[in-house]
């Protein structure tokens, strides 16, 4: 409740944003929820090292590095892209993770695709010793359990709850914690229809729907329209959005409002999952492409 603010998107109904990105400075937004019970489990198993996977500007990599530093774990990040090895200093996310004590293993895109295989994990164990493995994006049963705590007492008043989707863990927790009269709308940040199935692994409820029209060409893809939208939104509502997840979701929500998707008098709750650490990295990419920067 404390992080929820009302915003003025339309006069037809009420829209609120739950700014869970304000829950912690470094392990923020949904990533704090996703890591909570995994950290507890790693402690229970007496593990000393956390190992996980991610891309160049991954919010998850940044969050695991910071969480490891706070809770006393060594951290290892297996990162997609061998070429990044010599570019850590020019990459805000990897520099931050390194500063938090994370060690990196840079691998090719091909290797990264096979990272779930038994052989690959065994090789990592030979190299790094025993570790607690957190999957890419951090989604597992314990992560979903943590995300069930995103909704709080009082949130039953909303008719719609909107949430960005990457691997589907966050929305699964929200669905599990929702009431039957509520509809959960997920806005995938990437192309592909595997997400529908992923989410049904973690929830048996059916009061949800994926809105697949607002991925802007795929994961971490951005264009001038999206960037200008993010900048205008921040100016008007004093809420910063990230380009990978929340920016695309809010663009989608505004478009749906314009298309009369929501019945009049609806009460909508938007989950601002965070991701703001990724803005700096995205700006380095935008600059090279001569696109406007995120302010």
Ligand X SMILES: *Cc1c(COP(=O)(O)O)cnc(C)c1O
Q: Which residues bind to ligand X, rule: CB under 6 A?
A: 29-31, 59-60, 137, 139, 164-171, 242, 245-246, 273-275
Helix, strand and coil content of the chain, in percent to the nearest 5, comes to 45, 15, 40
> Which residue number, 14 or 270, has a Cβ lying nearer to ligand X?
270
CB 158 to ligand X: min, Å: 19
> Which residue number, 15 or 162, has a Cβ lying nearer to ligand X?
162
> Which residue number, 274 or 281, has a Cβ lying nearer to ligand X?
274
Distance CA 60, CA 52 (A): 9
CB 144 to ligand X: min, Å: 8
Distance CA 264, CA 262 (A): 6
> Which residue number, 14 or 246, has a Cβ lying nearer to ligand X?
246
CA 256 to chain centre: 22
CB 126 to ligand X: min, Å: 29
> Which residue number, 75 or 273, has a Cβ lying nearer to ligand X?
273
CB 263 to ligand X: min, Å: 26
Rg (CA), the chain: 19
Q: What angle do CA 138, 142, 148 make, to 5 degrees?
A: 100
Q: Is 125 left (phi over 0), alpha (psi -120 to 50) or beta?
A: alpha
Q: Give the DSSP per-residue string, 97-160.
A: HHHTTEEEEEE-HHHHHTTTSHHHHHHHHHHH-S-EE--GGG-SHHHHHHHTTSS-TTGGG-SE
Distance CA 148, CA 143 (A): 9
In Å, the largest CA–CA distance within the chain is 60
> Which residue number, 14 or 112, has a Cβ lying nearer to ligand X?
112
> Which residue number, 64 or 76, has a Cβ lying nearer to ligand X?
64
CB 244 to ligand X: min, Å: 7
CB 195 to ligand X: min, Å: 8
CB 84 to ligand X: min, Å: 19
Distance CA 26, CA 6 (A): 25
């Amino acid at each position: 409740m404390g992080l929820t603010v009302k915003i003025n998107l339309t006069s037809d109904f009420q829209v609120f944003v739950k700014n869970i990105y304000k829950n912690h400075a470094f392990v923020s937004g949904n990533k704090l929820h996703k890591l909570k019970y995994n950290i507890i489990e790693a402690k229970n198993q007496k593990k000393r090292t956390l190992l996980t996977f991610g891309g160049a500007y991954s919010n998850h990599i940044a969050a695991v590095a910071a969480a490891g530093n706070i809770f006393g774990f060594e951290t290892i990040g297996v990162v997609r892209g061998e070429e990044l090895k010599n570019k850590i200093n020019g990459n805000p996310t990897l520099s931050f993770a390194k500063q938090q004590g994370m060690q990196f293993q840079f691998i090719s895109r091909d290797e990264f695709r096979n990272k779930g295989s038994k052989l690959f994990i065994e090789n990592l164990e030979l190299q790094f010793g025993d570790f607690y493995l957190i999957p890419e994006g951090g989604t597992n049963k314990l992560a979903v359990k943590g995300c069930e705590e995103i909704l709080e007492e009082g949130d039953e008043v909303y008719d719609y709850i909107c949430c960005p989707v990457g691997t589907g863990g966050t929305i699964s927790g929200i669905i599990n914690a929702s009431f039957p009269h509520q509809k959960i709308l997920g806005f995938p940040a990437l192309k592909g229809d595997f997400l529908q199935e992923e989410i049904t692994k973690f929830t048996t409820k059916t009061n949800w729907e994926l809105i697949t029209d607002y991925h802007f060409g795929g994961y971490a893809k951005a264009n001038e329209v999206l960037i200008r939208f993010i900048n205008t939104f921040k100016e008007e509502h004093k809420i910063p959005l990230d380009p990978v997840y929340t920016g695309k979701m809010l663009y989608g929500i505004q478009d749906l409002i314009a298309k009369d998707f929501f019945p009049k008098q609806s009460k909508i709750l938007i989950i601002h999952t965070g991701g703001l650490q990724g803005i700096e990295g995205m700006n380095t990419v935008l600059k090279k492409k001569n696109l406007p920067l995120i302010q």
